[in-house]
Each structure stands twice: as C-alpha cells, then as structure tokens.
Amino acid sequence: MRATEKAVAIMTVALSVWAILMRVTTNFEGPGCNRIMRVELGSDAASINRAVRGDGPRDTEGVTHNIQMVVRNTYMDFVFILLYWLTFLSLAFLAGRMGRRFLAICAGLCIGSGLSWKMEKAFVR
C-alpha cells in the first residue's frame, strides 16, 4: 500500500472512531433521546432549554451535567470537523494521484466552497 493510500485509510478510520467516541461519551441525564441534535438544530433558547432539561424541574445537577455534555460535544465537534475535512482532502488528493482529475477538481471545489462558507459565518458574527 502506498503512502497516500495509507494516509487515506488512517484518516477514514480516525474519523469513524472519533464519530463513535462522540456518540458514546455524550450521555444526557433525564428522559428524551437525541438531545444533542436538539441543541445543534435548535433555532431558539427554548429548544436548548428542553434539550438540557434534567429529570425534573428541580434537578439542577442533571441540568449542569447536560450543559457539560453540550460543551464537551461542541469541542469534540471541532475535532470531528477537522478530521472530516482532512479525510475529504486526502480522498481528493488520492483521486488526483490515481488519475481521476475530474473527481479531484470537484472535491477541491467542494472543499473550497466549504471553507469560504465557514469563513463567511465567522466574519458575519
């Protein structure tokens, strides 16, 4: 196996392991499922409040724990985005090395548009 193929394989495995690790380490207290999706896709403060709600109205420890889970998952998400981007970049590089120039150009355009979108979001705030 060539070095480029090894790098792509390592990035793919690292991305998969990190995704599983994110899922396993994010455990919320209280009823409800997919709470992190409620936080990430929530459009207002009320949806975030529902996502971090504990077992009952007076469960401050549960709320504190759930907020810590949101913070942890957010930090882990930054690493996930980096791994995802590096995996995509390595696949584009591999496609170019294998003579699939069109696929490599398309991947490069997608990577470039994703970066410009992220930069735009950072500067708008």
Q: pLDDT digit string (tens) for 40-60? A: 787 888 888 888 887 777 778
Q: Among residues 4, 7, 32, which one has the least CA distance to residue 83?
A: 7
Domain ranges for the chain, please list them. Answer: 3-124
Mean pLDDT, rounded, of the chain = 81
pTM: 0.73
**Burial class of residue 124 (count of CB atoms within 10 Å of its CB; 0-12, 13-18, 19+):** exposed
Residue 17 has pLDDT above 90, yes or no: yes
For the chain, counts of helices (H) and of strands (E):
5, 0
